[in-house]
Amino acid sequence: MKKIIFGQRLIFALFSVIPLVTLINTSVANAYVQISDFCGNYNININGLKGTLQLILCLEEKDYNLQGTYTNDSEQIFQVKGFTGHLNQSIPLHKITFYIDFPQNRQMFEGYLMCESRDAIAGYTIEKKVPVGFYAIKMPKYQMPEEKQQKKSFLQKPIKDKLSDLKYILKDIRYAILIYNGQHHRQAKLGFIWDERTQKQIAYTDGKDVMTQLLQRTDKNGLTNTTEAQFGPYFHEFRINPFTLGNTIHIVDSPLPIKEIITSAENYDWIFNVRTSEFRAGGEVVLPDDISEHSLQDF
């Protein structure tokens, strides 16, 4: 009898630890996962039925941040829309809910991104009132939509939609910068590297270097291509400014706000102040007269 009681206590103790471990793991996942990590082409298996799933960023709707298509084994294509925890703070960032619009019903899928590899999603869906499993494995050669496709999409949009897109893109980039700075010590925030040997910080003056820190894994000192690089990448491809149709970063190193340093930003796609971590959009000159010169800087 004592052995049984001891065993029950041990099991209870183990299960008491699980919520704490889950909470820790969730917080770690939240610190890493970006919306763009979900984007890709996947081989998907839904309860044994195979197909392909494509997910790309959705900028047009407030209730979704992902869209795409599902293609079954008969080559039939169905529309997909979904959202991640980035739209709701009560949901883990690595969780995804998406819907496939089949002719007879709209089927919901709930899953979680593999946080370490970010190359697969696993979860469940309901079929005939019965929960069944699904998994989706990202195709290794997937690349984000080419710049030409993105530029063509922006060219076809009215100014109002471009402004809406720009707000969303700025929010995504600024959030990534916030996460980056939180994961690196103060001397190695975005735009800086910390030299352990000389105990000095070095500021980047080239936007390509800053972009590399966001597109590649970095270590605690902000260095890429090291054996200790464990943070990021924060984007798979850096975002295009809907107005300038470019994605280069102009670097400013000053304690002053960007708008007090640069009064005319038509020659820049993005502007980043490495000293203050302020990130702004350029290209106001392309806006119509009814939009104020610094309207983009207010976002």
Per-residue pLDDT of 240-294, as tens digits, reads 898 888 999 999 999 999 988 887 888 899 999 999 999 999 885 444 444 443 4
E-state strands within 128-205? 130-138, 192-195, 200-203
**pLDDT higher than 90, residue 144:** no
Q: Could you give the count of Cα atoms lying within 13 Å of 183 in the half-sphere of its Cβ?
A: 28
Sequence-distant (6+) residues with CB within 8 A of 24 are: none
Q: Global pTM? A: 0.54
**pLDDT higher than 90, residue 31:** no
Residue 13 pLDDT level (bands cut at 50, 70, 90): very low
Rg (C-alpha) for the chain, rounded Å, is: 22
Integer Cα distance of 115 and 5 in angstroms = 38
Determine whether 74 is exposed, middle or buried from the number of CB atoms within 10 Å of its CB (0-12, 13-18, 19+).
exposed
State residue 152's pLDDT score: 61
299 versus 238: the higher-pLDDT residue is 238
DSSP 146: P
